[in-house]
Chain A
Amino acid sequence: MKQLLEHIAKGLVDEPDQVEVKQVESERLIVLELKVAPDDMGKVIGKQGRIAKAIRTVMNAAAIKENKRVVVEIVQ
């Protein structure tokens, strides 16, 4: 899951080297914290959060396969 989010984020940002994902996992829930360069924040969120929403849809599709729920937090 971590690698998937990294792969997507790296495609979106100007500075792929600064993409960092932290994963915290419990039995049913995966929390992923996505951190990008400050100037890239808007690039992973998009107008009215449209890009962030699409990222979450794709992450959810992957999580369902593992019988889990996933939460993606974009952090500063």
Chain B
Amino acid sequence: MSKFEATGRTLDEAIETALVSLGIRRDNADIEVLNEPNQGLLGIIGNKDARVIVKMKLEPAQYLQSYLQELLQYMNVEGSVVVGEDDEKLEAEVSGSDVGSLIGRRGKTLSDLQYLLNVIMRRQFAGLNKMIFLDVENYRSRREKTLTQLAKNVARKVIQEGREQALEPMSPQERRIIHLALHDLPDITTYSDGEEPYRKVVIAPS
């Protein structure tokens, strides 16, 4: 568990130093006072600094799990949250029978909620250098399969007809999936055209 020991002229100063070092907020901190500060005689002799140990109550993965679980409750969504973690990312997976409203039209709610979670987690843990990924009932992996299939079908048609074709507007993540799916095909190039949020991938013969 992450903790930090700090000293300061006042208790607040010591606590603040420890919070900044851990990169967390006071409400996610357990504070143990080791020494009360002591203004010695005439403020000269026997001055003693405050000394505290501050512990992180919830590590990032736990915090994300409980934050998201509480969010579902306020949204009246019955679902459970599991968070996985590795060196680069935190992955939150929501499952349940009633979680469709978290996905939204073409995954819009899902990607906006993922964005919010990234901002919130960075605010709560200043030193956090991991991306936060959110998935609901495997929507992203299912969507990735669909998009890859779509890309290949359209690419085949483009090669046959020798004419470029634009797909429907997609988010940057979705466009990336298309580019990657066709990356290895020698007869095809892909590029994006238009302005967000209407930017689309164009598949063209090379």
Binding site for B on A (CB under 8 A): 3-4, 7-8, 11-14, 16, 43, 46, 50-51, 53-55, 57-58, 60-62, 64-66
Known contacts A16-B27, A54-B115; A43 and B123 CB within 8 A of each other: yes
Ranked nearest first, the 7 interchain pairs of A and B with the lowest CB-CB distance are A4-B74, A11-B120, A54-B112, A57-B112, A61-B109, A62-B75, A3-B74
Shortest C-beta distance, B177 to chain A (Å), equals 21
Give the dominant DSSP class at A's interface. helix
Interface residue from B25, B27, B70, B75 paired with A61 (Cβ < 8 Å) = B75
The total of chain B residues at the interface (CB under 8 A) is 22
B145 within 8 A of A: no
Note all chain B residues with C-beta closer than 8 A to A4.
71, 74-75
B26: nearest residue on chain A (CB-CB)? A16
| In contact, B116 and A65 (Cβ under 8 angstroms) | no
| In contact, B27 and A58 (Cβ under 8 angstroms) | no
B24 within 8 A of A: no
Interface residue from A7, A8, A55, A65 paired with B101 (Cβ < 8 Å) = A65
Note all chain A residues with C-beta closer than 8 A to B71.
4, 7-8
Note all chain B residues with C-beta closer than 8 A to A14.
25, 123
Known contacts A4-B71, A4-B74, A61-B104; A54 and B113 CB within 8 A of each other: yes
B108 within 8 A of A: yes
Known contacts A43-B123, A61-B102; A55 and B74 CB within 8 A of each other: no
Shortest C-beta distance, A65 to chain B (Å), equals 5
Instruction: Find the residue from A14, A51, A53 having the highest chain B CB count within 10 A.
Output: A51
Note all chain A residues with C-beta closer than 8 A to B119.
12, 46, 51
Note all chain B residues with C-beta closer than 8 A to A62.
74-76, 101
Instruction: Find the residue from A50, A53, A57 having the highest chain B CB count within 10 A.
Output: A57
Bound-state Cα–Cα, A54 to B109, Å: 8
Shortest C-beta distance, A13 to chain B (Å), equals 8
Bound-state Cα–Cα, A72 to B72, Å: 19
